[in-house]
Amino acid sequence: MSPGEPAGSVVIFHTADLHNRLRPEAAQRLKELKESHPGCLLLDAGDAVGAGNLTFRPGGEPILRTMSEIGYHAMAMGNRESHPRRSFLERKLRDAGFPVLAAGLTARKAAVPGSVKPYVILRSAGARVAVIGSTRQITKPGSVWAGIADYVWEDPVETTARLVPDLAARADLVICLSHCGLAVDRELAALPGVSLVLGGHSHRRVVEQGEGATIVHPGFHGRWVSRTEFRGQELVSVELLSLEPKP
């Protein structure tokens, strides 16, 4: 733990909507923050890549390689990480050296790639932290696109609500890592058993007390990172740290 940080604290850093624009200086700062907080968690709420929903970089995604080198523990699948075809989805995510979370992703014509998980349970400061990938409905069941896509996305609030009771019984904290936007995040925060919502997609810097859990959005393009600390199951602090160059 860092000096002054109480033993047993769970510290979580979180970025969102990097869009392949994370500057080297900001990447180095994230690496330093992670190294200075042993046992912390580093998460991303999606749209890290620069490619669009239906495109991909043939040579791979540089930002995913950078995030792997920094030591991210998991990220939510944003709309930019998605693709309706398995072969292209696998190529898009191949540089991610960490799980890509999408709880609502449902296979229709091809199996879900092995790197994609609905959730993970991570360890931090002796605590078990369940992280659910709450993702947007990019292709809705029953839509025209669903007829030709390999995957559909189920409703994120309904999907998360089904997972939370089991995970709350198995973990000390349950976090929604969401690429749904602020309006849906408010619904996620109201679900019983949710400890925290770490969001993205809205491109805003927000710390908001929801109906149940706190909602945090850290802005976009790697300009800010959120730092959230729990002591046991109690939320101790939330702050947004600038990753911009110092004057």
For 64-98, what is each residue's pLDDT tens digit?
999 999 999 999 999 999 888 888 888 889 999 99
pTM score, whole prediction: 0.92
How does DSSP assign 93-144, residue by residue?
Answer: HTT--S-EE-TTEEESSSPPPTTEESEEEEEETTEEEEEEEEE--SS-TTST
For 148-207, what is each residue's pLDDT tens digit?
888 889 999 999 999 999 999 999 999 999 999 999 999 999 999 999 999 999 999 999
> Domain for residue 1, yes or no?
no
Cβ atoms within 10 Å of 52's Cβ, excluding its own: 11
108, pLDDT greater than 70: yes
Q: At what angle do helices 182-189 and 156-170 cross, to 10 degrees?
A: 40
> Domain for residue 156, yes or no?
yes
The token pair at 122 is 């991570």
> Domain for residue 40, yes or no?
yes
Q: Is 67 helix (H, G, I), strand (E, B) or coil?
A: helix
CA 83 to chain centre: 17
> Domain for residue 145, yes or no?
yes
CATH number for the domain spanning 93: value is 3.60.21.10
> Domain for residue 58, yes or no?
yes
Contact 159, 137 (CB under 8 A): no
- For the chain, the domain total comes to 1
Q: Which domain holds residue 71?
A: 9-242
3, pLDDT greater than 60: no
Contacts of 211 (CB under 8 A, 6+ apart): 186, 189, 190
Distance CA 76, CA 160 (A): 13
Distance CA 151, CA 245 (A): 41
Q: How many CA atoms lie within 13 A of 50 on its CB side?
A: 12
> Domain for residue 201, yes or no?
yes
Which pLDDT does position 174 carry in this prediction? 98
1, pLDDT greater than 60: no
Which pLDDT does position 54 carry in this prediction? 66
